[in-house]
Structure 1
Amino acid sequence: MTAYFRPLVQHGPACPNGAVFLAGLPLWFTHAERLGRGVKSSIVSVQQIPEEVLNRLTQPRADIAGIKMDRPQIMGILNATPDSFSDGGVHNSVEAALMSAQEMVSHGACILDIGGESTRPGASFVPVDEEIARTKPLIEAIRAETNALISIDTRKASVAQAAWMAGAGMINDVSGFTFDPQLAPFCAETGAPVCVMHMQGDPTTMQDDPQYDDVLLDVYDFLEGQVARLEQLGLPQNQIVVDPGIGFGKTEAHNLTLLQNLSLFHGLGCPVLLGVSRKGLIGQIGKEPRKDARAPGSIAVALAGLAQGVQIVRVHDVAETAQALRLWAAVR
């Protein structure tokens, strides 16, 4: 039976003898929760964690395209779409989108995630040519005006290729490299850093009736398998980011389980990205129907993720998140 180890993460100077640091971060743990399918969980000391697993949990993460992974980083969301759930239609020209991009960078975003196809629940498929037409001019404009790492949020190899040529430096695939069989080989060939996200189903149907045997372990196993696949193709593990995919084919209960146990995913040996900004979970629990008024709830969840060692938070409200992060770091 496979055993999984979720570090019980702590912080602060009162670090006892025997504690180990998590992923090169100023967070440490002395114990972990041992999990398995069909068995009751138990608490074990770090000395009881297998050496291979402990190494993956503790090894410092390499830079991603020059971005340090030993501290929290902000990825700003910039959707060049008419129908994205929160900011659809806001960036309906290259000029408007570029202004938003520059503002995000000035407020602290070191990565900009550019999307040309909405992946909100129920969203329709966007043809390749249209997705390229939405994203390529914007990437070219941003590349000319900022030094930020540009991530292309796409499931399609042709879109990723066009974005890469235009100046993108990272590929963020919400399908976890299951949609287009040509995308993973392209990333391996170019050495492009990637983000592998978990999604059950596709945007059209993913929220119809999501089911899991064990959502935490099912998502972990999927990400582990996709990381291994990318490595086999030749992409180094140290250039792979993982994302559990909050809100993508998951109920509120599924999402909360993942959020409460995020530190488990450090066992994959990769930086962890958390994207929950303005999502339905924030509106439902926070009782805020207006998507653009969900910054407080989004920030609360982001900080909870950072406390579990998440390296990247993907957000709409960059200035507000950066301010909260500075205060969070100062009091810790």
Structure 2
Amino acid sequence: MIAHPVRCLGGRSIDFSRRIAVMAIVNRTPDSFYDRGATYALDAAIEKGRDAAAAGAEIVDVGGVPFAPGPALPIADEIERVVPVVAALAPIVAVSVDTFHPEVARAAIDAGASIVNDTTGLRDPCMADVVADSDATIVIAHSLAAPRTQHPLPRYDDVVRDVADFLRERRDLALCRGVPPERIVLDPGHDLNKNTRHSLELTRRFGELAELGDVLLVALSNKDFIGEALDRQRGERLSGSLAAAVWCATHGARIVRAHNVPETVDAMRMVEAIRGWREPAYELHNTRPEGNS
């Protein structure tokens, strides 16, 4: 059970006891793993975010630096990439900034971001200070390596237990730094310093992570564990991504980060309808005397 299910994101209230939010991905990078720079141009990034909001995404996650290993990008350049997109989208949708730099987080919050998505799990504790000094929510993801570095052959005694322990520890750090519990979201970090079997195990036992009592986010869209499980290349992983997202949603995930927004929104709305959280959009089938079989 979620301890604090009602959250305010971008001035909009979401009750995660009865709602599964879709977080759309907008990568303002020339080397993102999925779209290969398709939204690197400012106009393209803003358009993608607006389209995602129109398709039903409750959150748009804007990133200026990939998670994958690579050379450091100057902080000023990362700010230049993400802040104009945040400012353009914040009036219409809750905006998240995907960054591990406190300075970038501060600039994005000032521009209207309501969520900071830290895939390094507060490796820099000052990130918690920035969030605590604002109204923003922090997403704490599990990962092991220093930012943008390799972590070859990751090993876990028990990947679910180890990830849960890490998230508990980093959650406590955020709380100690003044972040209220109702502004913390946890992400087990599928594929982040994990091999395919690790990510499958996290997915299979996702219900154990839900016992942490926090709003949980999953970022598994089109990832390599789906490709390796199904022998599918990038661009062929939508069905696997939706299956994994639905599994996690039925076992406690409440935010699903996705590239394919309309399809993911439909999948999550269907989960909500099956659970009885959402009324059908309309009812015609077998509701008239003449029949509609």
Superposition TM-score tier, normalisation by shorter sequence: 0.7 to 0.9
- 8 A contact 2:113–2:136 mirrored in 1: no
Partner of 2:285: none
Deviations 1:35-68 (A, max 9, x none): xxxxxxxxxxxxxxxxxxxxxxxx4523142233
Alpha-carbon deviation of 1:247?
A: 0.4
- Secondary structure of the equivalent of 1:176? coil
Alpha-carbon deviation of 1:266?
A: 2.3
1:186 to 130, 137, 142: 130
Partner of 1:140: 87
AA aligned to 1:327 is M
- Secondary structure of the equivalent of 1:218? helix
AA aligned to 2:119 is V
Partner of 1:156: 101
1:263 aligns with 2:207: yes
1:161-310 to 2 correspondences below 5 Å: 161-178=106-123, 180-202=124-146, 204-289=148-233, 291-310=234-253
Partner of 1:104: 52
RMSD: 1.6
AA aligned to 2:220 is V
Are residues 288 and 253 of structure 1, via their aligned partners in 2, closer, same or farther at CA, if it must alter by over 3 Å?
same
Are residues 64 and 226 of structure 1, via their aligned partners in 2, closer, same or farther at CA, if it must alter by over 3 Å?
farther
- 8 A contact 2:196–2:229 mirrored in 1: no
- Secondary structure of the equivalent of 1:241? strand
- Secondary structure of the equivalent of 1:273? strand
AA aligned to 1:195 is V
Q: For residues 34 and 211 of structure 2, what CA distance do their matches in structure 1 show?
A: 32
- 8 A contact 1:76–1:111 mirrored in 2: yes
Partner of 1:119: 67
- Secondary structure of the equivalent of 2:95? strand
Partner of 1:77: 25
Alpha-carbon deviation of 1:330?
A: 3.5
Alpha-carbon deviation of 1:150?
A: 0.4
- 8 A contact 1:203–1:248 mirrored in 2: no
- Secondary structure of the equivalent of 1:67? strand
Partner of 1:312: 255
Q: Which runs of 5+ in 1 are unaligned?
A: 1-21, 24-58
Q: For residues 246 and 123 of structure 1, what CA distance do their matches in structure 2 show?
A: 19
Q: For residues 249 and 139 of structure 1, what CA distance do their matches in structure 2 show?
A: 28
- 8 A contact 1:160–1:171 mirrored in 2: yes
- 8 A contact 1:207–1:248 mirrored in 2: no
Deviations 1:284-312 (A, max 9, x none): 112211x2232111111000001102111
Partner of 2:6: 62
- Secondary structure of the equivalent of 1:293? coil
| TM-score when normalising by structure 2 | 0.88
Q: For residues 130 and 171 of structure 1, what CA distance do their matches in structure 2 show?
A: 18
Q: For residues 197 and 267 of structure 1, what CA distance do their matches in structure 2 show?
A: 16
| TM-score when normalising by structure 1 | 0.78
AA aligned to 2:230 is G
Q: For residues 208 and 101 of structure 2, what CA distance do their matches in structure 1 show?
A: 29
Alpha-carbon deviation of 1:197?
A: 0.3
AA aligned to 2:257 is R
Q: For residues 52 and 84 of structure 2, what CA distance do their matches in structure 1 show?
A: 18
Alpha-carbon deviation of 1:189?
A: 1.6
Partner of 1:325: 268
Partner of 1:91: 39
Q: For residues 182 and 232 of structure 1, what CA distance do their matches in structure 2 show?
A: 12
Would you say how many aligned residue pairs link Structure 1 and Structure 2? 271
Q: Which runs of 5+ in 2 are unaligned?
A: 276-293
AA aligned to 1:86 is Y
Are residues 225 and 317 of structure 1, via their aligned partners in 2, closer, same or farther at CA, if it must alter by over 3 Å?
same
- Secondary structure of the equivalent of 1:102? helix
- 8 A contact 2:210–2:251 mirrored in 1: no
